[in-house]
Structure 1
Amino acid sequence: MNVNIQKLYTIAAKPVRTIIGLMSGTSFDGLDIALCQFTGSGPGAPVSIQNFITKEYTPQFKEEIKSVFVSRQADLEKVTVLNAYIGTYYAELINECLADWGLTADDVDLIASHGQTIFHAPKHLHPDDHYDNATLQIGDADHLSVKTGIITLSDFRQKHIAGGGEGAPLAVYGDYLIFSDPHESRVLLNIGGIANFTYLPAGQPAGFFSTDVGPGNTLMDQYVQLHYPGRYYDKDSALASQGQVNEVLLKELLKNDFFEAPFPKTTGPELFNLAYLNRALSNTAQTGLSHHDVLATLAAFSARGIIKAIEATVGSGSNFEIYVSGGGMYNPLLLSHLQKHFGKTIRSTNVFGVNPDAKEAVLFALLANEAVAGSPDSLSAAAGIPRVSMGKVSFPL
C-alpha cells in the first residue's frame, strides 16, 4: 500500500484526531487557524478547540487579494501565481503557530484549508444558461501540505456543487453536527461578508436548513475602505452610529430579485458591492448623503435582510434562540437592529464553548474529520443540503 494511503487509513481509524482548520473570508483581515481535537465522528461527536489565532495579513497581501477578488476581468497570471503563493504563505503561518504552540507536524493529523474565495458564481447570478453553479477558491493545498509535512484537505465547496448544491453555505454541516438540541430550536447566525444562518428545530433532525440571506459586512467594509483610507471596517460601528438611516435609500437597496428568490439560496460580493450601492444612490437621487448616513443605512440594510429571511423561513412568532458568530457580531449597531426586532438577547456560540471567531475554521476541520472518518449519512435529508463528503486530499510526499 502507498505510504500516504496507509497513513491516511491509520488517521481515519484513530479514536481521536488532531486537525487544523483554516478560514480566510472576504474581509481579508487574516487567516483563522484553529487547532481542534475530534473524538469519533457524526452527530454529537465531541470537538475541543486546543488553540486558536488569527494571523493578520500584511496590507500588501490584502491588496494583492483585492486585485483579483470578484473581478470578471482579473489578471490570469496574477491568479495563477497567487494560487501557489497563498498555499506557501499559509504553510509559513501554520509552521509559525506550531512553533509557538510547542508542536511539530507529527502532532497534527490533518490540515483543512478553505482557501481564499475570489469568485462565487451560483447559476442565478451569472447570465449564461449553458453553465451551472460554480465557485473558485485559491491557495494550492499541495504547496501547503509539502511545506508543512501534513496531509491537507481542501477545495470543499466543489463537492457541494457537484452534489447539487451552490457551494454555500457550508456552515450547516458543522451547525447540525455540533449545535443540534432535542429541546431548543436554534438559529445559528453567521455575519461575515455575507450573512447566512442555519435553523435547527428542536428534536426534528430532518427539518433543519441553511441559507444565505444577503450582505453582512461586505458593503459596509467596501464603503469604509473606499472613503477612509487605512481603515478596513467600521470598528464598533463608530462611524455608522453618527448617522441616520435613510429610508428612501434602504427601500431601494432591498429592491432586488435575490430577496424574493426561494430558499435556500446563496449570494456574494459579486452582487452586493459598491456598484450595487451606487445604483441605489443614483436611482433615489440620494448621492449627497453623508458617509455616516450611508453607513447607518447599510447597517440597517444588512439587518433587514437577516430579519426578512428569518421571518420568511422560521417565522417571527416561533420559539427559537439566536446564536451569532462572524465579524458582524462586533457591530453593535447591526446587532441592536436585530435584538430590537426579535425582542431577545442574541448570544454568541461562546455559550457552547465554541469561540465565535474560530467557528468557521472549526467547521472546515470538522468537514475534514467527517471526510476521513465519518459518513454522508450522518446528515439527515434536508432541502438543498447534499449528503456528500467534502475535501480533496493533498499528500506531503
Structure 2
Amino acid sequence: MNTNWKKVFDIIQKPERLIIGLMSGTSMDGLDIALCAVRGSGTATSVRLLEFKTADYNHEFKAEIKSIFSRHDADLQMVCLMNEKVALVHAEMILDAVSSWGLKSEDIDVIASHGQTIYHAPRSLHGLAKYPNATLQIGDGDHIAVKTGIITIADFRQKHIAAGGEGAPLAVYGDYLLFSKKGEDRVMLNIGGIANFTYLPGDNDATKVFSTDVGPGNTLMDQFVQKHYVGVYFDKDSSIASAGKVNQSLLEELMQSEFLEADFPKTTGPELFNMRYLEQAQDKTGTLHISKADVMATLNSFSANVIINAIEKCFGKGTAPSIYISGGGMHNPLLLKQLKTGLKNAEFHSTQILEVNPDAKEAVLFAVLANETLVGEKTDFGNRKGIPSVCMGKVCLPE
C-alpha cells in the first residue's frame, strides 16, 4: 500500500483525531487556527477545542490579496501567484502555531483548510443563464501539505456546488452535527463579513435544517473604515458608529436590494455589498456629504435590520428562538444592542456556552467537515435546494 494512503488508513482507525481547522474570511484580518480533538462522526461527533489562535496578516499581504479580491479586472498572473503564496504563508503560520503549542507536525493528523475566498459567483449574483454557480478559494492544499508534512483536506466548496449547492454557507453541516439539541429550536448566527445563520429544529429532523446567508454583517462597515481611516481596519467597540446618527433615507435605500427580498436559502458576498453599493445609495438619496460617523451608524443599523428581518421572515414576529452568536460581529456592541432590541423575545448566547470559542467556531466547523470526509457518511438533509447531502473536501498528500 502507498505509504501516504496507509497513513490515511491509520488515521481513520484512530478513536480520536487531531485536526487543525483553518478559516480566513472576507475581512482578511488573519488566519484562524483551531487545534481540535475529534471523536466519532455524524451526529455522534464530539469536539474538544485544544488550542486556538489568529495569526495576523501584515499590511503588505492584505494588500496583495485585496488586489485580486472580488474584482472583475483581477490580474490573472497575480491570481496564480497568490494561490501558491497564500498556501505557503498559511503553512508557515500553521508550523509556528504548532511549535508554540509544544507540538510537532507528526503529532497532527490532518489540516482542514478553507482557503481564502477571492470571488463568489452564484447564479443569483452573476445572472448569466449559460453559466453555473461558481466560487473560488485560493491557497493550494498541496502546497500546505508539502510545506507542513501534514495531510491536508481542502477546497470544500467545490463539491457543494457540483452537487447542486451554491458553495455557501457550509456551516449548516457542522452546526447540525455539533449543536443540535432535542427540545430546543436553535439559530446559529454567524456575523462575519456576511451574516448567515443555521436553523436547528428541536426535533433533530435533518430534513428541516435550514441555512442561509442573509446579507452584510461586517463587510460594508469594514470597507468604509478602511477607505476613510488610515491604518484602521474595523470600528473597534463600534466607537465611530456610536458617535453618529442613523440617516433614515439612506437606510431605507440600502434595504432596497433584490437580494434581501429573495427566498431562502441564498448566498452573497462583497461582490454585491461593497463601496459601489453604498455610494449608489448615497447618490440616490443625496447623502454623499453626511458625516463619516453618520454613515457608520447607518451601516450598523443596516446590518442589524438585515439580520432581524431574516429571522422574523423565517420564524415570525414575536417568536423566541435561542440564538447563538459567533463571528467578528459579536464584538460590535452597538450591533448586538440593536439585535436584542429588535428581537426582544429571543434569547441571545455566545457559542462559548456550547464550549466553542465564538471566534474559533468557523475554523472548528471545517475541522468537523474534514473529519466527515475521513470517517463520516453523508447526512441526509432531504431533497432540498441549497443543502446537498454530500461529504466535501479534496485530500492532499504531503509526499
* TM-score interval, normalised by the smaller of the two chains: over 0.9
Amino acid at match of 2:388: P
Name the counterpart of 2:367: 365
- Structure 1 SS opposite 2:208: coil
Q: TM-score, normalised by structure 2?
A: 0.98
Pairwise CA distance, 1:40: 0.9
Pairwise CA distance, 1:393: 0.8
Name the counterpart of 1:288: 289
Cα distance in 2 for partners of 1:369, 1:10 equals: 14
Query: Mean alpha-carbon deviation: is it higher for 9-18 or for 110-119?
Result: 9-18
Contact 2:214 2:307 in 1 (8 A): yes
Name the counterpart of 2:148: 148
Cα distance in 2 for partners of 1:320, 1:27 equals: 28
Query: Mean alpha-carbon deviation: is it higher for 39-48 or for 360-369?
Result: 39-48
Deviations 1:167-195 (A, max 9, x none): 00001111101110101111100000000
Asked if 1:71 is matched to 2:71, the reply is yes
Pairwise CA distance, 1:382: 5.2
Amino acid at match of 1:315: G
Pairwise CA distance, 1:347: 1.4
Query: Mean alpha-carbon deviation: is it higher for 340-349 or for 126-135?
Result: 340-349
- Structure 2 SS opposite 1:239: helix
Corresponding pairs, count:
397
| CA distance 1:378–1:47, change in 2 (3 Å) | farther
1:213-232 superposed matches below 5 A: 213-232=214-233
Contact 2:209 2:381 in 1 (8 A): no
Cα distance in 1 for partners of 2:155, 2:88 equals: 16
1:119-130 superposed matches below 5 A: 119-130=119-130
Name the counterpart of 1:175: 175
Name the counterpart of 1:85: 85
Contact 1:88 1:144 in 2 (8 A): yes
Cα distance in 2 for partners of 1:112, 1:24 equals: 12
Asked if 1:313 is matched to 2:314, the reply is yes
Contact 2:83 2:138 in 1 (8 A): yes
Pairwise CA distance, 1:378: 6.1
Q: Unaligned stretches of 5+ in structure 1?
A: none
Cα distance in 1 for partners of 2:152, 2:45 equals: 21
Contact 1:42 1:378 in 2 (8 A): no
Amino acid at match of 2:95: N
Name the counterpart of 2:258: 257
Match of 1:394 among 369, 382, 396: 396
Contact 1:41 1:369 in 2 (8 A): yes
Cα distance in 1 for partners of 2:237, 2:333 equals: 6
- Structure 2 SS opposite 1:113: strand
- Structure 2 SS opposite 1:143: helix
Cα distance in 2 for partners of 1:192, 1:384 equals: 20
- Structure 2 SS opposite 1:54: strand
Cα distance in 2 for partners of 1:260, 1:50 equals: 41
What fraction of aligned residue pairs are identical, expressed as a percent? 58
- The two structures, once aligned, show a CA RMSD in angstroms of 1.1
Amino acid at match of 2:186: R
Q: TM-score, normalised by structure 1?
A: 0.98
Contact 1:209 1:383 in 2 (8 A): no
Amino acid at match of 1:377: T
